[in-house]
């Protein structure tokens, strides 16, 4: 069944990711409690609109007036963040309807994920009240939304990362938080981040449909445990992947993991084989783990979507190039990436360079303590990037060993050669470096 993406999703989600005002229900005089930390983060992040803390027992928090109830706030409220105990959420939803809010985000947990019939029923009632009241629910049991462009931080973290083209949707607030943290250290720019939890109302398909048509989002990443709207999700994913890259990390791949996922967000389980086949059919890129997700998003942000996968591989700067090439070839083969033989003229020219060169490997380890390494490496980069059969180049660089065998100045010169080769040749160049003391 063909899914047509709804462009009006941009208007529908505008005041969720770009709220004109935020009410934070459940602040406390204890500044260490989550509601208060959240209010502090919003204030310190320089969020453009008004922030309305709500607690009937407080008058002021962090120099900002505290309101006794949601309905007592004089102006309009777009987004409500709820940090109150679960026993009070139904009454809050009545106030949300009366206030004509756009969306309510429930950090509050303890519903479907408990497996208890009483709280499953309450979560279902929350969805019914939202539909009747004309507003949407994010969660419950989640960290909610973030938009760096709008100075809307992720959760109670007052640090707002740099805006960028990457969107991320996650059923786990912790995984999304870790990716945001990695992004801050590695220069990954996010357009939107959404931790969606139990998805009693808005689900993964809704957020994916929005990010697929959002002009500020160029790549979408998803962490999924067991979406309740899986049939629609894959229909949307198939349509979304035709517009922009969609990267998916599926949690709960093992039986033990599936049980853990169920207790985390009330997720339903399905076999790994079924998920892998469905993701491939939908045109998504599958990754396994937060590091792979970060690497893939960063690659897509900097290099862009690559339609061809003929890879030119350069190894052996600091050691056994054949072993490095074997490791890289096995890794690439697992993702359907071809490590190819160069043209005959390129091979002959590589063989004429100092050091040992082959059809897919350049081994300059014998020159790693001489000035010849720079000339050999620069010529290698020129030859490989100029080869008409190569779509993308990967340079395997062990930074720790390179610096220990030469100097930091030589390593900097090598990296400069990589940058210049990219600028001259116009082909994507990816540098793979082993984790070590320099990371």
107 and 156 assigned to the same domain: no
Task: Answer yes or no: is 439 within a domain.
Answer: no
130 and 63 assigned to the same domain: yes
Pick from 80, 107, 138: which residue ends a domain? 138
Task: Answer yes or no: is 374 within a domain.
Answer: yes
> Phi, psi (5° rounding) for residue 321?
-65, -35
237 and 208 assigned to the same domain: yes
pTM of the model: 0.85
Counted domains in the chain = 3
Residue 39 neighbours by CB distance under 10 Å: 29
Reduced to 3 states (helix: H, G, I; strand: E, B; else coil), residue 14 is: helix
107 and 178 assigned to the same domain: no
Query: Could you identify the residue written with the tokens 């930074």?
Result: 399
pLDDT along the chain (439 residues), means of 10: 74 95 94 91 91 95 95 96 95 96 96 95 96 96 96 86 94 95 91 96 96 96 89 95 95 56 48 87 93 92 75 73 76 74 73 52 39 74 85 82 77 88 85 67
Tell me if 67 sits within 8 A of 53, measured CB to CB: yes
Report DSSP letters for 325-336, one per residue.
HHHHHHHHHTTT
155 and 197 assigned to the same domain: yes
129 and 234 assigned to the same domain: no
**Residue 263: per-residue pLDDT:** 47
Closest CA to 198 of 117, 135, 134, 120: 120
346 and 237 assigned to the same domain: no
Q: For residue 411, what are its two tokens?
A: 């390593």
Task: Answer yes or no: is 51 within a domain.
Answer: yes
Pick from 138, 154, 176: which residue ends a domain? 138
Task: Answer yes or no: is 1 within a domain.
Answer: no
327 and 238 assigned to the same domain: no
Task: Answer yes or no: is 438 within a domain.
Answer: no
CATH number of the domain residue 349 falls in: 3.40.50.261
Task: Answer yes or no: is 40 within a domain.
Answer: yes
Task: Answer yes or no: is 4 within a domain.
Answer: no
CATH number of the domain residue 84 falls in: 3.40.50.720
346 and 373 assigned to the same domain: yes
386 and 372 assigned to the same domain: yes
265 and 351 assigned to the same domain: no
Name the residue range of residue 105's domain.
9-138
Give the single-character DSSP code of 114.
G
Task: Answer yes or no: is 2 within a domain.
Answer: no
Give exposure, 140-156, as e/b (b: 16+ Cβ within 10 Å).
bbbbbbbbbbbebbbbb
111 and 258 assigned to the same domain: no
**Residue 320: per-residue pLDDT:** 61
Q: Is the peptide bond before 140 cis (omega within 30 degrees of 0)?
A: yes
Q: For residue 293, what are its two tokens?
A: 């997700």
Pick from 96, 118, 138: which residue ends a domain? 138
């Amino acid at each position: 069944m063909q899914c047509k993406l709804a462009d009006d999703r941009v208007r529908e989600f505008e005041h969720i990711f770009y709220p004109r005002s935020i009410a934070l229900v459940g602040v406390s005089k204890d500044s260490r409690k989550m509601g208060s930390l959240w209010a502090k983060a919003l204030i310190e992040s320089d969020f453009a609109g008004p922030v309305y803390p709500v607690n009937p027992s407080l008058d002021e928090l962090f120099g900002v007036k505290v309101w006794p109830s949601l309905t007592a706030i004089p102006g309009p409220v777009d987004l409500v963040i709820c940090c109150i105990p679960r026993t009070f959420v139904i009454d809050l939803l009545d106030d949300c309807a009366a206030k004509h809010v756009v969306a309510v985000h429930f950090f509050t947990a303890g519903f479907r994920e408990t497996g208890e019939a009483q709280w499953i029923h309450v979560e279902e009632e929350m969805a019914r009240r939202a539909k009747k009241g004309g507003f949407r629910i994010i969660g419950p049991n989640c960290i909610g939304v973030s938009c760096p462009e709008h100075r809307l931080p992720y959760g109670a973290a007052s640090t707002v990362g740099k805006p960028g083209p990457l969107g991320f949707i996650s059923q786990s607030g912790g995984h999304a938080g870790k990716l945001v943290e990695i992004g801050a250290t590695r220069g990954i720019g996010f357009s939107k981040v959404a931790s969606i939890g139990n998805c009693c109302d808005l689900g993964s398909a809704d957020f994916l449909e929005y990010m697929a048509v959002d002009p500020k989002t160029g790549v979408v990443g998803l962490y999924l445990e067991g979406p309740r709207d899986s049939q629609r999700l894959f229909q949307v994913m198939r349509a979304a992947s035709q517009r922009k890259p969609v990267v998916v990390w599926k949690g709960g791949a093992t039986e033990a993991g599936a049980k853990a996922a169920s207790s985390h967000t009330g997720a339903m389980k399905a076999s790994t084989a079924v998920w892998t086949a469905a993701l491939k059919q939908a045109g998504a890129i599958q990754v396994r783990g937060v590091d792979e997700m970060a690497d893939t998003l960063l690659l897509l942000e900097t290099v862009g979507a690559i339609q061809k996968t003929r890879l030119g591989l350069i190894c052996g700067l600091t050691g056994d190039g054949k072993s490095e090439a074997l490791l890289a070839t096995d890794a690439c083969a697992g993702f359907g990436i071809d490590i190819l033989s160069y043209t005959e003229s390129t091979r002959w020219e590589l063989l004429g360079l100092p050091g040992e060169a082959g059809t897919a490997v350049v081994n300059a380890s014998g020159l790693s303590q001489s000035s010849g390494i720079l000339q050999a490496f620069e010529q290698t980069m020129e030859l490989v990037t100029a080869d008409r059969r190569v779509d993308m180049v990967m340079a395997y660089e062990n930074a720790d060993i390179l610096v220990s065998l030469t100097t930091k100045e030589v390593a900097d010169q090598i990296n400069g050669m990589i940058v210049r080769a990219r600028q001259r040749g116009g082909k994507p160049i990816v540098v793979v470096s082993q984790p070590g003391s320099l990371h």
